Amino acid sequence: MVAHNGIDADAPVIMVDDNDSDLVLARFCYEDAKVPNPFVGMRSGGELLEYLDAVAADGATMPAIVLLDINMPGMSGFEVLARARARPEFRRTPVIMMLTHSDYPEDVAKARELGADGFRTKPCRVREYVEFFASLRDDH
C-alpha cells in the first residue's frame, strides 16, 4: 500500500463485512501488520456504494483496496462488485473478494468475471490474518 505504485498512502483500505466480530478481528490484525493506510470497516455493500458515490463527487478519498465479503444479507458481495465495476471511475480500484470458509471454484470464477482482482478465504488464525494484511502492504 505504499505510494510508490501510485497508491496514495492516505487512501483507506476498506473491508466490507456484515459480521462485527470479523471486522474487529480484522482491524486488530491490520494494525498488527503495520499497514500505513487507514483501515475502514463497513457493515454492508450499500455503505460501500455510498462511500464510492462520495468519491465520485470528490468528497472522499479513492480506496487503496476493497476487501469484500461475499455472503452478506441484502446485497451480496457479487452484486456490490458488479455495481462498483459498472462505474468507470471504479474499474481500476483493487478488489479482493473474501468468503468465510469456502473457496468454491464457481465463486472464484464468478468473482473474476465480475472484475475482482483477487480471491481469498478469510484466514482462520490471527497470524494468517496478520500475514495477509502484511502481504497487501508488500504487494502494492
Residue 7 is predicted with a pLDDT of 56
Residue 112 is predicted with a pLDDT of 92
pLDDT along the chain (140 residues), means of 10: 53 95 95 94 97 92 93 94 92 85 83 91 90 78
Instruction: Calculate Rg over the CA atoms of the chain.
Output: 14
Domain boundaries, the chain: 15-139
Query: Contact, 21 vs 69, CB < 8 A?
Result: no
Residue 13 is predicted with a pLDDT of 95
Give the rounded distance of the alpha carbon of 96 from its chain centre. 5
Length of the chain: 140
Summarize pLDDT for 107-119 with one digit per residue, the tens: 889 999 999 998 8
Does 3.40.50.150 match the CATH number of domain 15-139? no
